Amino acid sequence: MKLYLLIFLIANCSIVSKLNYCNALHLPEKSFFQLREEIIREERMMSFGSSLKLQGDEILANECLMATKRKELDEGFERPEHFLPSQNFLDVHSEIEKSEVFKIIRLMPKGAVFHAHLASLVSLDFIINNVTYIPNLHICYNGTKMRFRFLETPSSDCDWQLLKDLREKNPGINIKIQKHLTMLRISPAEYNIDVVWNKFQEIFAVIKGLVTYRPAFEIYFYQALQELYDDNVMYFEFRASLSKLYELNGTTYNPINVARIYQEMINRFTTNNPDFLGAKVIFSPQRGITQSIFDNYVKTYKEVKQAYPDFIIGFDLVGQEDRGNTLLNFAEKLIELGKDTPFFFHAGETNWYGHATDENLVDAVLLNTKRIGHGFALLKHPKLMQMVKEKNIVIELNPISNQVLDLVKDMRNHPASHFFAENYPIVVSNDDPSFWGASGLSYDFYEAFIGIMSREADLRALKQLAINSIKYSGMKPGEQKKAFKIWQEAWNRFTRYLAYSHKCVNNNQYFDTRWL
């Protein structure tokens, strides 16, 4: 009995402030340094990826990765003006490509992309050098705004000129086109959220004229899949409203036919690349629509869903939250739709607090969204944060998008640091990479890993991101099982290469491709 009492007293010596029996037993209290180490250790045990255990090649790969990461972070700490995630991606994207951490991340099998918009996925170079050289492309200007259309005969609604002829007269036209297809030209003096979003929407309008012509769309879409695949992404869920496609002869394709064209292109790509597992659509009209237009979109969604039940996986509303309708505007209709439809809502993509826009997060959670696109404002809502964790609602983090669209200037201040610290279900996506000079997913992984996560976040955190992207996808269980198998094989190759070939920070012999 005395032994049990002694064990009890020792176990409870931590509550020294209330009881004095520890001193009476002459048991040493924990020192400042012991308590400090305990706090740091417990925080690390709570963090994102901490439940994973590295084995075999992963251990050596992690040592290599972390040596490279700490070197870059130490240099940033000594010269903070050169720390890349603290600067706007528009200014430093070419410098990021020189980062050794970025080079490692680029080789990593990243799993899936969840949050991306099809019209903004293909690199600018490909659009300029390939899509704009497709025959019959015409260009016109409406004031300062550029528009494209594929035409056999120019129509009278604008002063349409054949781009091929215009190029012969003005070889520098490509530079002018580039300015209308990227946000890289916005000067810091102009930078505010409305200016950025207006430019953002203008680019969508320009690109629409290039990719709604069916032959151009097929080239564009195949390249979108190729760029993801080249960046070691194996699966893709994208937002789209299945806008009409057209032929030169005036033939148009309705949403059901557009879905069929999508699937044909995906099947062609997966046939050529069997370890790419395809793509699925989250049907996503613009949020700034009337009630009657919303009803039409719901009707379209149900028709396409019935025709392609495995391809259309859910519903969302997209566009600038601060200037569009809230979810509350359509709440009754969404409640009805949600009885048999998964939701993947954009919500909390705002800096406001307590505003109707900010409260989209409340409605998204109450409407049982599977995932939250962005969730930037979620940190301001402790009750919702609790519900998100309890309901296992996934946060789709888009770091570069949040920075370029003026929500956060320095990635170290991104609210997702808290989500990583407390191990929320989270994935990293790329949103609209081509608009800011990126392609694939690696740039966003880099910003999250170097700029948002802890200095001590390691290979486990990157691995957890990849696992989450399969685990929380819209794939069926059988598809997920296949995905995990293919991903694990690729992960093993990656970690073996990193463990035995990469020379880390000790010399300049990087990336011996014989190990790939």
Active site residues per annotation? 349, 374
Of 387, 390, 411, 416, whose CA–CA distance to 400 is shortest? 411
Evaluate whether 286 touches 317 at the Cβ level (below 8 Å). Answer: yes
281 sits in which H/E element: strand 279-283
Instruction: Residue 98: name the closest of 109, 112, 86, 82 by CA.
Output: 82
455-483 burial: b if 16+ Cβ within 10 Å, else e: eebbbbbbbbbbbbbbbbbbbeeebbeeb
| Cβ atoms of 434 and 125 closer than 8 Å | no
**The two three-digit tokens of residue 384, written as one number:** 């919702």
Note whether 158 and 139 are within 8 A (CB): no
CA dihedral 313, 238, 488, 513 (to 10 degrees): 160
State phi, psi for 351 to the nearest 5 degrees. -95, -10
431: left (phi over 0), alpha (psi -120 to 50) or beta: left
d(CA 504, CA 499): 10
Amino acid at residue number 181: L
Give the number of other Cβ atoms within 10 Å of residue 410's Cβ: 14
Distance CA 207, CA 147 (A): 8
- List the end-to-end C-alpha distance of the chain, in Å, as a whole number: 63
Chain center to CA of 401: 8
> Could you identify the residue written with the tokens 């999250």?
448
Q: Maximum CA pair distance of the chain? A: 99
Residues 193, 406: contact at Cβ < 8 Å?
yes
